[in-house]
């Protein structure tokens, strides 16, 4: 009855109603129409009739489009820390599914691609990533398509791009010593002791051949310095085991970096509910919506744009740069209530803290 009445109204007010009801859809687009809340078959290309008041419509572009996955820090299997991004090309093959199954197609596909890239690259060494970049891209293409085919979307190409190697593989620290050939007469010693002894005796022979006296040789040989490089990872490990700051200490570290520039980049207020190891929960706020920004305990004065729920350990990893907001969300360690796009803008705050350190 409602549809019939609308048709009658259009006939009475024609041709004025035709100016608003007739839409032209090009060949590379399809129009998805919801009539009284129910979806209809895709319309177009050509002229499409829309009924005023009861039809809601959305255009879907069928052409190949592209987006980039922002570079993120990853730790490879051999301990190298790299900054890795990707370029992704995709197209929509089912316009109905692309509208019905996901709200923001590009954002959802970008998160899916970044999650798949992270899971794949952490299982490979730096050399494998550099040599097999094309093959890894083809593997990611299949994995992403398996997850996005139910959205009516098909990924055509994934091209990895390595921005920088932030830290070389840990194996390089002991690689030169490990490749030394066995020394005659020292076969019974442990490998590392044998290598250090061989290095010691080679220095002694070189000094003797140059005619240097024994006192000078003793002064010039510093075996302590030869042992120090292999122990550098142990010192780094001991340093990394230091106590992490509490939530209150993290908050006090956030306040000095707040600025108008950061507010202009983020433009949102956050309420952070932190689950403590004791089982209790504490609440903090970070207001980056106006002025120079504010941070403190309790709930913000106005209604927050985003509410975040996170464990204290995961919050420490976030602010110390060991965990990225997107990876925390994809792994379930960060719960978001509100606009996901605004929640991921916390990346700007994390970058500001890293620069300050």
User: Is 186 within the bounds of a domain?
Assistant: no
| pLDDT higher than threshold 50 for residue 108 | yes
pLDDT given at position 141: 92
Q: Is 80 in the same domain as 55?
A: no
pLDDT given at position 243: 59
pLDDT band at 2 (very low <50, low <70, confident <90, very high): confident
User: Is 209 within the bounds of a domain?
Assistant: no
> Last residue of some domain: 61, 92, 108?
61
pLDDT given at position 180: 43
Q: Is 94 in the same domain as 11?
A: no
Q: Is 50 in the same domain as 79?
A: no
Q: Is 251 in the same domain as 351?
A: yes
| pLDDT higher than threshold 70 for residue 236 | no
Q: Is 45 in the same domain as 72?
A: no
- The SS3 assignment for 223 reads helix
pLDDT given at position 295: 83
270 or 223, which is more confident: 270
Region 293-304: what's the mean pLDDT? 81
Q: Is 25 in the same domain as 86?
A: no
User: Is 239 within the bounds of a domain?
Assistant: no
User: Is 223 within the bounds of a domain?
Assistant: no
328 or 224, which is more confident: 328
Residue in the block written with tokens 């990346």: 347
Q: Is 79 in the same domain as 142?
A: yes
> Last residue of some domain: 61, 78, 108?
61
Rounded Cα distance between 136 and 115, Å, is 14
| pLDDT higher than threshold 90 for residue 232 | no
pLDDT given at position 63: 93
User: Is 173 within the bounds of a domain?
Assistant: no
How many other CB atoms are found less than 10 A from the CB of residue 248? Answer: 11
Q: Is 25 in the same domain as 94?
A: no
Please tell me the least confidently modeled range out of 166-170, 171-175, 237-241, 286-290.
237-241
User: Is 43 within the bounds of a domain?
Assistant: yes
Please tell me the least confidently modeled range out of 212-216, 282-286, 303-307, 313-317.
212-216
Rounded Cα distance between 190 and 197, Å, is 10
Q: Specify the pairing of strand 306-311 against strand 268-275.
A: parallel
Q: Residues 337, 331: contact at Cβ < 8 Å?
A: no
Using alpha carbons, select from 254, 319, 309, 328 the residue that is nearest to residue 287. Answer: 254
Q: Is 50 in the same domain as 71?
A: no
- The CATH number of the domain holding residue 122 is 3.30.479.30
> Last residue of some domain: 112, 145, 167?
167
- Looking at the chain, the whole-number percentage of residues with pLDDT higher than 90 is 23
Our count of domains for the chain comes to 3
pTM across the whole model: 0.46
Q: Is 105 in the same domain as 55?
A: no
Please tell me the least confidently modeled range out of 9-13, 183-187, 228-232, 331-335.
228-232
- Average pLDDT score, the chain: 76
Rounded Cα distance between 244 and 325, Å, is 18
Structural domain boundaries enclosing 265: 247-355
What pLDDT, in 10s, does the model give residues 79-96?
889 998 999 999 999 999
User: Is 106 within the bounds of a domain?
Assistant: yes
- The CATH number of the domain holding residue 265 is 3.30.1050.10
User: Is 196 within the bounds of a domain?
Assistant: no
Q: 183 phi and psi, to 5 degrees?
A: -100, 125
Rounded Cα distance between 85 and 81, Å, is 13
């Amino acid at each position: 009855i409602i549809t019939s009445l609308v048709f009658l109204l259009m006939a009475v007010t024609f041709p004025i109603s035709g100016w608003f009801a007739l839409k032209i859809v090009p060949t590379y687009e399809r129009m998805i129409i919801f009539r009284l809340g129910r979806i209809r078959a895709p319309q177009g290309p050509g002229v499409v009739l829309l009924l005023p008041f009861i039809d809601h419509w959305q255009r879907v572009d069928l052409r190949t489009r592209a987006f980039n996955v922002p570079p993120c820090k990853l730790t490879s299997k051999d301990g190298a820390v790299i900054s890795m991004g990707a370029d992704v090309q995709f197209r929509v093959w089912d316009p109905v599914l692309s509208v019905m199954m996901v709200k923001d197609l590009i954002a959802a596909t970008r998160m899916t691609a970044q999650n798949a890239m992270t899971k794949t690259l952490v299982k490979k060494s730096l050399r494998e990533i550099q040599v097999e970049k094309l093959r890894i891209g083809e593997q990611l293409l299949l994995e992403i398509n398996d997850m996005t085919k139910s959205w009516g979307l098909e990924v055509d190409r994934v091209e990895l791009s390595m921005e920088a190697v932030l830290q070389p593989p840990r194996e390089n620290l002991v690689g030169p010593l490990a490749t030394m050939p066995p020394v005659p007469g020292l076969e019974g010693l442990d490998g590392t002791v044998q290598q250090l002894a061989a290095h010691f005796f080679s220095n002694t022979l070189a000094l003797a051949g140059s005619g240097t006296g024994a006192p000078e040789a003793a002064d010039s040989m510093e075996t302590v310095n030869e042992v120090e490089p292999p122990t550098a990872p142990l010192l780094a490990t001991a340093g990394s085991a230091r106590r992490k700051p509490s939530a209150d200490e993290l908050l006090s570290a956030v306040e000095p970096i707040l600025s108008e520039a950061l507010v202009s980049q983020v433009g949102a207020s956050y309420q952070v509910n932190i689950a403590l190891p004791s089982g209790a929960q504490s609440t903090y706020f970070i207001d980056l919506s106006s002025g120079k920004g504010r941070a403190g305990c309790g709930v913000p004065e106005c209604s927050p744009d985003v509410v975040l729920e996170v464990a204290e350990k995961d919050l420490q990893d976030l602010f110390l740069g060991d965990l990225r907001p997107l990876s925390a969300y994809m792994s379930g360690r960060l719960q978001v209530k509100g606009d996901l796009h605004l929640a991921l803008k916390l990346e700007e705050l994390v970058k500001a803290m890293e620069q300050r350190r």
